[in-house]
C-alpha cells in the first residue's frame, strides 16, 4: 500500500510539473549565478537554451517559428518569456525572427559585461512590467551594444508595474526601430549617453516616465533611413524621427545636452511635461516643433527676430507657439 501511495504521489508531482507553466511560455528564474529555464511543451521544439544553468541566459527562438496555439489574448501565437528572481551577474539574450513578449515579474538583473536585456530579434518586441512588481535592470561594460536594454526590432514598453533602468555604459534604453510606452512606470536614473535612444519614432501613449542623471539627451529619436515618411496612419511603416506625447507624465532632469532631440517633429498633444520644453532640438531639415492645439500653426523667426513664415532653408530659427519659444536647427 505504501509503495502504491508513493507511486501515485510521484506521478502526481510529475503531472503538476508538466503543467507548471502556461502554453507558449518560457519561464526563467534567476538565483545568483544560476538560472532555471522551463519551457512549455507546445513550444519546446522552437526554443533552444545554449547557456545551461548559467545566469547568463542565451536563448534562440527558431527561425521557423511563426506562431502556435493562437488565442484571443495572444492572437499571433507568440512566445512569452517570463523573467523572475535576482542576479548580480546575469543577462537575458534572445535571438529569433518572430515577435515575442518579455514579461518582467519581480526581476533584479545586473550584467557587469553587457546589456541586461539583449534582444537580437528584428520584429516587434513587447517588454512588460507585470502589475504590482518592481523590476530593476543594470548594465556594465558594453562595447558591442548600445543599451542596458538593447532591442534590435520595434519596442513596446508596457505594463502596470515599475521598471527601473540604470545604464552605466551607453544609453539606458536603445531600440533600433520605434519605441512606444503605455501605462508603465519607467524610471531611468543613470545613463552615460541618452536615457532613451530610438529610431523611426517615439510615442508615449500613457504612463509615468522619469529620466535623470544622463550624460547626453533625455530622449533622442532618429530617422532610421535617409528620408522621412512623415506621420502615417496608426504609425504603420513610419520612419519619421518624430517624437509624440499623448498622455501620461514625462519628467526629465539632470541631463547633459537636450531634454528631447529629434530628427522630425516634437508634438505634445496631451499629458504633463515636467521639464523645460524649450530645451529641445530638431536635427532634420524643414521640421517644426508643434504644441498641438488643433491648428498646428507656429510663428517662425530668424535670429534677427524677423518673421519668416516657415522653415524653408537650412539654418537656425526661433519658433514660438502658445507663449513658448524653441530653437530649431534645420540641416
Question: Is pLDDT of 324 > 70?
Answer: no
The three-class DSSP label of residue 96 is strand
Q: What is the mean pLDDT of residues 165-186?
A: 97
> How far, in Å, are 156, 233, 235, 261, 283 from residue 230 at the CA level?
20, 10, 9, 17, 15
Q: What is the mean pLDDT of residues 209-230?
A: 94
What percent of the chain is modeled with pLDDT above 70?
Answer: 80
Q: What is the mean pLDDT of residues 230-249?
A: 95
pLDDT of residue 325: 54
**Side by side, which strands form the sheet with 91-96?**
47-49, 56-61, 91-96, 117-121, 147-151, 171-175, 196-199, 219-222, 260-262, 280-282
- What's the CA gap between 92 and 29, in Å, rounded? 11
Question: Is pLDDT of 62 > 80?
Answer: yes
State the alpha helices, DSSP H only, in 101-183.
none
* Cβ contacts of 39 within 8 Å, gap of 6 or more: 26, 47, 49
Question: Is pLDDT of 295 > 60?
Answer: no
The number of angstroms, rounded, from the C-alpha of 68 to the middle of its chain's C-alpha atoms is: 25
Question: Is pLDDT of 216 > 50?
Answer: yes
Question: Is pLDDT of 44 > 50?
Answer: yes
Strand partners of residue 173: 149, 196
267-285 pLDDT, tens per residue? 999 999 999 999 999 874 4
30-39, 48-57, 300-309: lowest mean pLDDT where? 300-309
What percent of the chain is modeled with pLDDT above 90?
Answer: 75
Question: Is pLDDT of 10 > 50?
Answer: no
Determine how many CB atoms are found less than 10 A away from the CB of residue 123.
Answer: 17
Q: What is the mean pLDDT of residues 231-238?
A: 94
106-154 pLDDT, tens per residue? 999 999 999 999 999 999 999 999 999 999 999 998 778 999 999 999 9
- Mean per-residue pLDDT of the chain: 88
Sign of the alpha-carbon torsion through 24, 22, 100, 115: negative
298 pLDDT band (50/70/90 cuts)?
A: low
Q: What is the mean pLDDT of residues 60-87?
A: 97
Phi/psi of residue 162, each to 5°?
-115, 135
* Cβ contacts of 73 within 8 Å, gap of 6 or more: none
Q: What is the mean pLDDT of residues 75-103?
A: 98
21-40 pLDDT, tens per residue? 899 999 999 999 999 999 99
pLDDT of residue 27: 98
Question: Is pLDDT of 293 > 50?
Answer: no
- What's the CA gap between 25 and 78, in Å, rounded? 9
Q: What is the mean pLDDT of residues 42-65?
A: 98
DSSP H or E run through 14: helix 2-18
Question: Is pLDDT of 290 > 70?
Answer: no
DSSP H or E run through 324: strand 324-330
- DSSP summary character for residue 5: H
- The radius of gyration of the chain's CA atoms, rounded to the nearest angstrom, is 23
Sign of the alpha-carbon torsion through 43, 175, 165, 87: positive
Query: Model-level pTM?
Result: 0.83
pLDDT of residue 45: 97
pLDDT of residue 260: 97
Rounded to 10 degrees, the C-alpha dihedral 300/304/306/308 comes to: -50
Determine how many CB atoms are found less than 10 A away from the CB of residue 190.
Answer: 18
Amino acid at each position: 500500500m505504501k509503495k502504491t501511495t508513493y507511486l501515485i504521489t510521484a506521478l502526481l508531482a510529475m503531472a503538476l510539473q508538466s503543467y507548471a507553466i502556461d502554453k507558449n511560455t518560457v519561464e526563467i528564474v534567476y538565483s545568483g549565478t544560476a538560472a532555471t529555464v522551463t519551457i512549455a511543451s507546445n513550444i519546446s521544439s522552437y526554443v533552444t537554451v545554449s547557456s545551461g544553468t548559467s545566469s547568463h541566459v542565451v536563448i534562440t527562438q527558431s527561425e521557423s517559428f511563426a506562431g502556435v496555439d493562437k488565442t484571443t489574448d495572444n492572437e499571433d501565437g507568440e512566445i512569452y518569456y517570463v523573467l523572475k528572481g535576482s542576479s548580480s551577474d546575469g543577462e537575458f539574450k534572445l535571438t529569433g525572427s518572430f515577435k515575442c513578449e518579455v514579461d518582467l515579474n519581480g526581476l533584479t538583473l545586473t550584467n557587469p559585461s553587457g546589456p541586461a536585456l539583449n534582444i537580437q530579434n528584428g520584429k516587434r518586441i513587447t517588454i512588460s512590467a507585470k502589475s504590482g512588481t518592481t523590476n530593476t535592470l543594470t548594465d556594465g561594460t558594453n562595447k558591442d551594444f548600445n543599451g542596458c536594454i538593447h532591442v534590435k526590432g520595434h519596442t513596446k514598453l508596457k505594463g502596470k508595474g515599475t521598471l527601473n533602468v540604470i545604464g552605466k555604459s551607453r544609453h539606458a534604453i536603445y531600440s533600433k526601430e520605434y519605441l512606444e510606452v503605455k501605462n508603465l512606470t519607467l524610471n531611468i536614473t543613470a545613463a552615460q549617453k541618452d536615457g532613451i535612444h530610438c529610431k523611426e519614432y517615439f510615442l508615449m501613449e500613457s504612463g509615468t516616465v522619469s529620466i535623470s542623471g544622463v550624460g547626453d539627451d533625455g530622449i533622442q529619436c532618429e530617422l532610421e533611413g535617409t528620408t522621412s515618411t512623415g506621420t502615417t496612419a496608426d504609425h504603420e511603416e513610419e520612419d519619421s524621427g518624430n517624437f509624440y506625447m499623448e498622455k501620461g507624465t514625462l519628467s526629465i532632469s539632470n541631463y547633459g545636452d537636450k531634454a528631447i532631440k529629434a530628427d522630425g517633429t516634437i508634438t505634445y498633444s496631451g499629458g504633463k511635461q515636467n521639464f523645460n520644453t524649450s530645451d529641445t532640438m530638431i536635427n532634420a531639415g524643414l521640421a517644426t516643433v508643434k504644441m498641438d492645439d488643433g491648428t498646428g500653426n507656429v510663428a517662425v523667426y530668424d535670429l534677427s527676430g524677423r518673421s519668416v513664415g516657415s522653415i524653408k532653408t537650412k539654418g537656425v530659427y526661433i519658433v514660438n507657439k502658445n507663449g513658448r519659444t524653441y530653437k530649431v536647427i534645420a540641416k
